Amino acid sequence: MNNTTHSVKASEIERKWYVIDADGKVLGRLAAEVAKLLKGKHKPTYSTHLDCGDHVIVINTDKMILTGNKMEDKIYRRHTGYIGNMKEVSAKDAMAKDSTHVLMLAVKGMLPKNSLGRKMLTKLRVYAGNEHEQIAQKPEVYNF
């Protein structure tokens, strides 16, 4: 009997396409589930040093919700690089302007902060409406 652990190779990784409907879903819980799929942690062949995750399509991000008072209290901050130029926008304004960007930021924060994490983020497609462009890939509906 062979007692060695099988390590999956990059050529052996099979990628699926999943579509998730964000209608009525909580932002943080949705982002955590999307990050899990992008990383590949739902697969038995998961490996930390490889990108073994799947492609994820998220639709209806304009209908996702934030719990509690986060819609009014949560603030997204960024700095332009110039002295005194800290830009702040509330979650309510950010959702009204571009709800896809809010989800992308949440998922990006849950992925590794290195080149592997940036590669994983490229497998995420986010749409504010009900339609998406990846019909040819025949994505499976993912429920959680």
What's the pLDDT score for residue 1?
Answer: 64
| pLDDT tens, residue by residue, 3-30 | 788 888 989 999 999 999 999 999 999 9
| pLDDT tens, residue by residue, 27-78 | 999 999 999 999 999 999 999 999 999 999 999 999 999 999 999 999 999 9
What's the pLDDT score for residue 76?
Answer: 97
Q: Which two tokens stand for residue 88?
A: 């702040």
* For residue 105, pLDDT beyond 90: yes
Q: Which long-range contacts (CB under 8 A, 24 or more apart) does 29-34 make?
A: 30/58, 30/64, 30/103, 30/106, 31/103, 31/106, 31/107, 31/109, 31/110, 32/110, 33/144, 34/58, 34/103, 34/107, 34/124
HSE-up (13 A, CA, CB side) for residue 129: 3
* For residue 97, pLDDT beyond 80: yes
What's the pLDDT score for residue 6?
Answer: 81
What's the pLDDT score for residue 3?
Answer: 79
CATH topology for 15-65+97-141? Ribosomal Protein L13p; Chain: A; (3.90.1180)
- Mean pLDDT (whole number) for 132-138: 94
* For residue 116, pLDDT beyond 70: yes
